[in-house]
Amino acid sequence: MDNMKVAYETMLGLAAEMVLDEALLNYRIEKIYCAIDEALAQGDVESFRLLTDELKDLQL
């Protein structure tokens, strides 16, 4: 019975970690989109390219 409890707690921990990772990824992507909008508004081509490259890397 203890092995089942350990396995269950391990699975819960992994699930929580996955949810947190997904939330952090979504937050970072949202921030990049805002920065891309800002770069476009300012005409900052270099920042736009760097940010879009970072966004592409995150979305793979």
pTM above 0.95? no
53, exposed or middle or buried, with CB in 10 Å at 0-12, 13-18, 19+? exposed
Q: Structural domain boundaries of the chain?
A: 21-60
Render pLDDT for 1-60 as a digit per residue (tens, 0 to 9): 688 889 999 999 999 999 999 999 999 999 999 999 999 999 999 999 999 999 999 997
- Write the Ramachandran bin of 43: left for phi over 0, alpha for psi from -120 to 50, otherwise beta: left
Give CA angle at 37 (35, 39), nearest 5°: 70
